[in-house]
Amino acid sequence: MARRTRALFLAVLALLAAGAAGARRHDPEKLPETRIRDLHYGDVLFYYYQNDDFEALTRLLAYDHWQRMPHHKDEAQLLIGGLYLSLGMHNEAGERFQRLLTLDVPTGVRNRAWFYLAQVWYARGYLDQADAALRKINGRMSPDLEAQKELLFGNVLMHEGRFDEAIRLLSGWRGGPVWSAYARFNLGVALVRQNRLSDADPFLSSVGSLLADTPELAALRDRANLALGFAYLQANEPARARPALARVRLDGPYSNKALLGIGWADAALGDYQGALTPWLELRKRNVLDAAVQESYLAVPYAFAKLNANAQSAEYYETAVSSFDAENGRLDQAIAGIEKGDLLQRVLVKDQDARYGWFWQLKNLPDAAESRYLYALLAGHDFQEGLKNYRDLVYMGGTLDRWSDSMVAFQDMIQTRERAYAERLPRADALLASDAVGKLQQRNLALEAELSTIEARHDVGALGTDTEREQWARVQRIESALTGAPDTPDNADLRARLALVKGVLFYRLNDAYGARLWQEHRGLKDLNLALHEAQARWIRVERARKNMPVNTGEFATRVAALKVRIDALQTRLADAEQRQGGYLAQVAVQELQQQKERLSTYQVQARFALATMYDRAANAEAAQKAPNGPVQKGADSSGQPAAPAPPPAAPPATPEPPPEKPQ
């Protein structure tokens, strides 16, 4: 059911994402496409598809609190309800479904949501809420789900003691062959509970004689035969009880009760020799079973009825010694449970198993008390309580990790404060130096200088260092020759200087355009760098002012969360202790009931044995006084009274219909 429940909520999410109008154009049983528009919602779905429901729910609640999923508000709320349901938090899921499963949600999706919620409430034992959820289903669902819904409703009514309503509901039930056996079984049980055994016989007999091709149906068949057989035993019709009990498998989970019932049916018909066959077979089995314990008294009783007094006494003595030994082992088991480590050993092999409502205990601890608690640990009520305890343990570990995270956050804040204190003097000195302002002034001067060079077309100013040196030397020589006399030598120098100057000017002028563009490009890059420096300067100034405020706010939030987590840990530890104590008390009560049953059987065995010895002693006196009174505690034949047969077991309690085989 976990896979189907998850598929349901994925379908609901997609339908809501497509919008109510668009959703109605889709088949509500199918999954249309949707598009994730918020990154945080995609993060939640990542954990959801990994089956990490707790992490998905934690992130979903946090993101919803901080309003990080504005485009997926409806989907997020419904997914929260689905995750609550998956984690077994049915009350929270029910409240959200009540608000969200409105007429805007397609009928098929809404009905399936209420159906799965009813299953969870039924499994948890909240019958009134399961009843209410089933009544919220509007119209008919798919044939398979409709069949399951009717059977679930019948189970709810039967557990509430409303057998007449259950009979009316199941009498009109229509469905496929997969669920027909369950419907007939539940209907038969309801009729038996209303003392309508003749009406129940056809339904239970049909289930008890079906061809079972799966272990599940084979167990249901045995259960139907057992319920019918014990119902006839209660009605004092052993001849009709025996065929039904004989159909129960010898290697099935109900074989012990069936063997005991067959023996009592034979005994009630006066066939004590025939009764010994199932009872002796039963006596070879595990003495922990109540039916086996009963056989320890039934076998010697049958031998006594057959006047095999020696065998009867021997079996009674064996029963007394077996009961004594078993009582001692039960005392040891009770002492082990009272030490308080039962649940830790129960869960040690399932540490990595899935938490939440879908988890079930599958491995038992290798402990002395485990052999006495198989039925209890496999029982529905104990399993539900164990789920709660396991979830409390998981939450305790989660809070421990979160508490460690709070300590790590506090260390991070303290480290940040120390780093801030160390860097603050250097930052203040840098801010006081006004370095960026000085650089900006220098940049303005460079821009003015370049503008002057461009206006004057000063080709020499943009030359290389060598070219500028050569140009300056030419200008100095030219100045010197200006006032020199006009001699042939000076005229030659002037001609040669003009040639050198012309060549140098040509080179400088040829490169002038490219060099001017390069200088402009350099100034532009410098302006961008200064702009970035100014922006960083502003951020540094802002951080200088805001850092103490931000750190203080984070420290306050972390401290508040640490206090809250500590309080939750205290509450959780108390709840875990109380839940563990409750489960241990239930286990001890189960063992105490076994001890009381053994004590009752032991008293019966001792009384019967004493009666036999007394009868043997009185036999000699009877030879001398043949008209002596009948020994008290013996029947009219002088034999010990029969141990009371076990009260006929009521029809098997109907269970929620299992999933359809895939």
pLDDT in tens, 16-43: 434 333 444 445 444 345 678 889 998 9
In angstroms, what CA-CA distances link 596 with 39, 174, 290?
A: 63, 46, 11
The SS3 of residue 544 is helix
For the domain that residue 300 is a member of, what is the CATH number? 1.25.40.10
Structure tokens given for 112: 């399936």
pLDDT band at 325 (very low <50, low <70, confident <90, very high): confident
Residue 571 has pLDDT above 90, yes or no: yes
Q: Do 91 and 7 share a structural domain?
A: yes
| Mean of the per-residue pLDDT values of the chain | 78
Last residue of a domain, one of 569, 584, 612: 569
The helix (H) or strand (E) run that includes residue 455 is helix 435-456
Structure tokens given for 113: 């949501």
Last residue of a domain, one of 520, 549, 569: 569
The SS3 of residue 551 is helix
Residue 399 has pLDDT above 50, yes or no: yes
- Amino acid letter at 93? A
Q: Do 13 and 72 share a structural domain?
A: yes
Q: Do 197 and 134 share a structural domain?
A: no
Residue 422 domain-assigned (yes or no): yes
Instruction: Tell me how many helices (H) and strands (E) the chain has.
Output: 24, 0
* Residues pairing with 159 in the sheet: none
Q: How far apart are CA 285 and CA 161, in angstroms?
A: 35
pTM to 2 decimals? 0.64
Q: How far apart are CA 150 and CA 141, in angstroms?
A: 11
Where helices occur in 365-434 by DSSP H, the ranges are 374-378, 380-433
Structure tokens given for 450: 């370049």
Residue 114 domain-assigned (yes or no): yes
Residue 245 has pLDDT above 90, yes or no: yes
pLDDT of 79 reads 82
Number of domains the chain is built from: 3
Q: Is 80 left (phi over 0), alpha (psi -120 to 50) or beta?
A: alpha
pLDDT of 81 reads 81
> pLDDT tens for residues 110-158?
788 788 888 878 877 788 888 888 888 887 787 778 888 888 888 888 8
In angstroms, what CA-CA distances link 293 with 137, 287, 296, 547?
A: 48, 6, 5, 77
CB atoms within 10 A of CB 153: 22
With beta carbons less than 8 A apart as the criterion, state whether 287 and 322 touch.
yes
The DSSP output letter for 92 is: H
With beta carbons less than 8 A apart as the criterion, state whether 365 and 349 touch.
yes
Q: Do 123 and 29 share a structural domain?
A: yes
The SS3 of residue 634 is strand
Q: How far apart are CA 388 and CA 382, in angstroms?
A: 10
Q: How far apart are CA 239 and CA 262, in angstroms?
A: 10
The most confident of 473-477, 544-548, 561-565, 618-622, by mean pLDDT: 561-565
Which residues make Cβ contacts (< 8 Å) with residue 470, sequence separation at least 6? 504
Residue 606 domain-assigned (yes or no): no
- HSE-up of 419 (CA within 13 Å, CB side)? 8
Q: Do 200 and 135 share a structural domain?
A: no
Residue 344 has pLDDT above 70, yes or no: no
The helix (H) or strand (E) run that includes residue 494 is helix 488-624
Higher pLDDT, 152 or 629: 152
Q: How far apart are CA 411 and CA 389, in angstroms?
A: 33
With beta carbons less than 8 A apart as the criterion, state whether 16 and 36 touch.
no
CB burial string 322-331: b at 16+ within 10 A, e below: bbeebeebbe
Where helices occur in 209-271 by DSSP H, the ranges are 215-234, 238-246, 255-268
The most confident of 8-17, 194-203, 367-376, by mean pLDDT: 194-203
Q: Do 102 and 15 share a structural domain?
A: yes
> pLDDT tens for residues 161-170?
888 888 888 8
Residue 589 domain-assigned (yes or no): no
Residue 645 domain-assigned (yes or no): yes
pLDDT of 623 reads 58
Higher pLDDT, 125 or 305: 305
- HSE-up of 251 (CA within 13 Å, CB side)? 1
Q: Do 95 and 22 share a structural domain?
A: yes
Which residues make Cβ contacts (< 8 Å) with residue 622, sequence separation at least 6? 628
Q: Do 36 and 115 share a structural domain?
A: yes
Q: Do 223 and 131 share a structural domain?
A: no
Residue 384 domain-assigned (yes or no): no
Residue-range definition of the domain harbouring residue 278: 175-182+191-307+639-662
Gyration radius (Cα) of the chain, Å? 46
Which residues make Cβ contacts (< 8 Å) with residue 520, sequence separation at least 6? 450
Residue 34 domain-assigned (yes or no): yes
Q: How far apart are CA 354 and CA 347, in angstroms?
A: 12
Q: Give how far the C-alpha of residue 325 lies from the chain's centroid of Cα atoms, to the nearest Å.
A: 42
Residue 164 domain-assigned (yes or no): no
Q: Give how far the C-alpha of residue 180 lies from the chain's centroid of Cα atoms, to the nearest Å.
A: 31
Q: Do 534 and 418 share a structural domain?
A: yes
Residue 602 has pLDDT above 60, yes or no: yes
Mean pLDDT across 206-231: 89
What is the number of residues in the chain? Answer: 662
Q: Do 408 and 557 share a structural domain?
A: yes
In angstroms, what CA-CA distances link 445 with 51, 229, 433, 468?
A: 66, 111, 20, 21
Q: Do 532 and 448 share a structural domain?
A: yes
* Residues pairing with 634 in the sheet: 640
Which residues make Cβ contacts (< 8 Å) with residue 556, sequence separation at least 6? none
Mean pLDDT across 569-578: 90
